[in-house]
Amino acid sequence: MFRQVGWAGFSCPRGIKSWITPRGHKRRAHQASMIRGVASGLMAVNKRRGAVMKKAKRYFLAGVVAMLLGGMSAAWAGEKDSYIGFGLGVFSPGDAAYDSAMGWKVIGGSVINRHLSLQLGYVDFGEMNGPLNDVGKTMTISTTGFEFSAMGHYPFADRYSVFAKLGFLVWNSAWRNRGPTSGTVTTGDATLLYGLGGRFDWSSSIGFVASWEHFSLDDDTTAFSGSVVYSF
């Protein structure tokens, strides 16, 4: 039946002895230590991620307040201080295994003066298709986010200007594996964004914007987009 092993004046099965001997105690203690280490590591990651998201939300709310205050100061000066817009663009991930995708964004901003504005926006990066999995289906990434950025403008003609932007994006990504073993993993964080672009004002109310932007996500992503904006 069992292979008997003598120990302390009597015999017992080898499997049982491995748990009741001093060596067995050490093994259990080592396993328990490993479990506690993994658990504490996961708790630390979740705690850090929660702290980052709370901090990002505070920054985002601070940006909203700053934009509103800037808009009020411009309104008191009797200028068109706010704008809204819609844009389409091509979003390209840094990983060449994933395809570029068509995305869109909705933006709104407050003009502080002719050289500075603050902008909020919602960005949808589209659905990026990746490599085939073991059942011949594709992996996909879908990312959305809220942005806040400060923009520095340089007008060089009556209707033309160029700009640089710097801000952050509070984003969320869904990684999907299609097929019989399909599943979804979500990630999210707050990250840096920056970009360059130009604007042409067709009239005092309507303008066209072309821009290049870089987003420091899990996989760095760049976007080329065009937008139509309405100032009021």
- The percent of the chain in helix, strand and coil, each rounded to the nearest 5, is 25, 55, 20
- The listed range with the strongest mean pLDDT (3-7, 131-135, 208-212) is 208-212
Structural domains of the chain in order of their starting residue, each with its CATH number: 54-231 (2.40.160.20)
At residue 184 the predicted structure's pLDDT band, cuts being 50, 70 and 90, is confident
In terms of Cα–Cα distance, which of 191, 179, 98 is closest to 141?
A: 98
What does the pLDDT look like over 8-43, one tens digit per residue?
Answer: 444 444 444 444 455 555 555 544 554 455 445 445
Report how far residue 19's alpha carbon sits from residue 28's, in angstroms, rounded to the nearest whole number: 8
Integer Rg of the chain from CA: 28
Report how far residue 117's alpha carbon sits from residue 79's, in angstroms, rounded to the nearest whole number: 13
Q: Tell me what pLDDT residue 164 has.
A: 98
What does the pLDDT look like over 122-169, one tens digit per residue?
Answer: 999 999 988 776 656 678 889 999 999 999 999 998 899 999 999 999
What does the pLDDT look like over 89-135, one tens digit per residue?
Answer: 999 998 888 899 999 999 999 999 989 999 999 999 999 988 776 65
